[in-house]
Amino acid sequence: MMKDESWRKTPFDYAFGYHNVPGYPLGQILCRNNTFACASTGVAIRFTGKTAHAAYPETAINPTAAIRELMHDIEALPQAITQGFTLATIVHVNLGKPAFGTTPETGELLVTLRSDSNKCFSALCEQVKQLAAFYAERDGLTLDLEWIDRFNATINHSEANMLLRQACKDLGFDFIDLPDPIRWSEDFSEYSKVWPSAFFGLGSGSEHPPLHDPHYDFPDALIDVSSKIFEQIIRDMNGLK
């Protein structure tokens, strides 16, 4: 969308957006200065070696040790980055084939990385890359890295946030400041890189099923709440009552 030349036809002052957040009272506005949502990416790490008869494992180029040690190292990485919140979550491991007579030829490790700081996020990604390269070279493996759905942190601008809070006050809406960034990520971060932006959450019910739950259902009442906030922001910016 950001590559579309239509964006250049009209100058933009700010960008505003929201996401519903289960676990908070219906319609409550969730604000936050600076980082609202974390940066994140998926990374698929694939090692390829050479299989051998299981009776002669010493003749193989086996990715097992690399996968095992890399898992341990990746899970320990966040402890070494103290400047902000970081998280490394192993989501899938695949090693060899279910055949007792042969050693593994391939190994695949899928990890999700995230941080509330773009700087820490970049450092985390680089360290994973270097660790994977180290084990591949040490064990004579071929390495393939694939980065999937990489998002920067969604960072709120002070002026845009001020307009958001003022609109909530004018409307008499219930709003709070989140103590910590939301851990999930937002492609809205692509807008916040270009324009002063404010992204906020809308509570979808204290007992509402969580996001991505099979019983989740978006509360249509939030459309009215968000529409009024956007309208009030426009009125405040233009001195309209």
- Looking at the fold, whether 160 and 212 belong to one and the same domain comes out as yes
CA distance 33 to 27: 20
Q: What is the pLDDT of residue 8?
A: 82
Q: Is the pLDDT of residue 140 over 90?
A: yes
The answer on 137 and 80 residing in a single domain is yes
Same structural domain for residues 76 and 159? Answer: no
Q: Where are the alpha helices (DSSP H) in the chain?
A: 64-80, 118-139, 158-171, 189-192, 221-237
Residues 56, 139 within the same domain: yes
Give the pLDDT of residue 11. 84
Residue-level pLDDT at 146? 98
For residue 3, what pLDDT is reported?
Answer: 87
- Quick check: 182 and 1 in contact, CB under 8 A? no
Residues 43, 99, single domain; the answer is yes
CATH code at position 215: 3.40.630.10
User: In the predicted model, is pLDDT for residue 27 greater than 90?
Assistant: yes
The rounded distance, in Å, linking the Cα atoms of 181 and 230 is 22
Residues 48 and 129 in one domain: yes
Cβ atoms of 14 and 163 within 8 Å: the answer is: yes
Which of these three, 110, 126, 151, is where a domain ends?
Answer: 151
Please tell me the pTM assigned to this model: 0.88
Q: Are 128 and 170 found together in one domain? A: no
pLDDT band of 21, cuts 50, 70, 90: very high
Q: For residue 85, what is the domain's CATH number?
A: 3.30.70.360
- pLDDT above 90 (res 179): yes
> Among residues 129, 151, 173, which one ends one of the domains?
151
Q: How far apart are CA 137 and CA 143, in angstroms?
A: 9
Q: Mark which of 151, 175, 199 sits at the end of a domain.
A: 151
Q: Specify the number of domains making up the chain.
A: 2
**β-sheet bridge partners, residue 31:** 177
pLDDT score at 81: 83
Give the per-residue pLDDT at 2: 85
Arithmetic mean of pLDDT, 199-213: 95
Mean pLDDT of the chain: 95
Do 105 and 63 belong to one domain?
A: yes
- As a whole number of angstroms, the distance between CA 141 and CA 105 comes to 9
Amino acid letter, residue 40: S
Residue-level pLDDT at 241: 79
Q: Based on the domain organization, do 142 and 45 belong to the same domain?
A: yes
pLDDT tens digits for 33-55?
Answer: 999 999 999 999 999 999 999 99
Does residue 151 have a pLDDT over 90?
yes
Residues 191, 156 contacting (CB under 8 angstroms): no
Q: What is the pLDDT of residues 58-93, one digit of tens each?
A: 999 999 999 999 999 999 999 888 788 999 999 999
Are the C-beta atoms of 186 and 41 separated by less than 8 Å? no
- Residues 46 and 34 occupy one common structural domain: no
The pLDDT value given to residue 164: 97
Please tell me the predicted confidence (pLDDT) of residue 174. 95
Cα–Cα dist 226/238, whole Å: 19
Q: Which of 37, 38, 64, 28 is nearest to 49 (CA)?
A: 64
pLDDT at 205 over 90: yes
Identify whether residues 33 and 43 lie together within a single domain: no
Interval 22-38 mean pLDDT: 97
- Give the residues across from 92 on adjacent strands: 110
Do residues 205 and 25 touch, judged by C-beta distance below 8 A? yes
- Tell whether 172 and 160 lie within a shared domain: yes
What is the pLDDT at residue 224?
96
When pLDDT is averaged across residues 181-206 and rounded to a whole number, the result is 95
- 3-class secondary structure for 3-51? CCHHHHHCCCCCEEEEEEECCCCCCCEEECCEEEECEEEEEEEEEECEC
**pLDDT score for 216:** 95
Domain extent at residue 167: 5-38+153-237
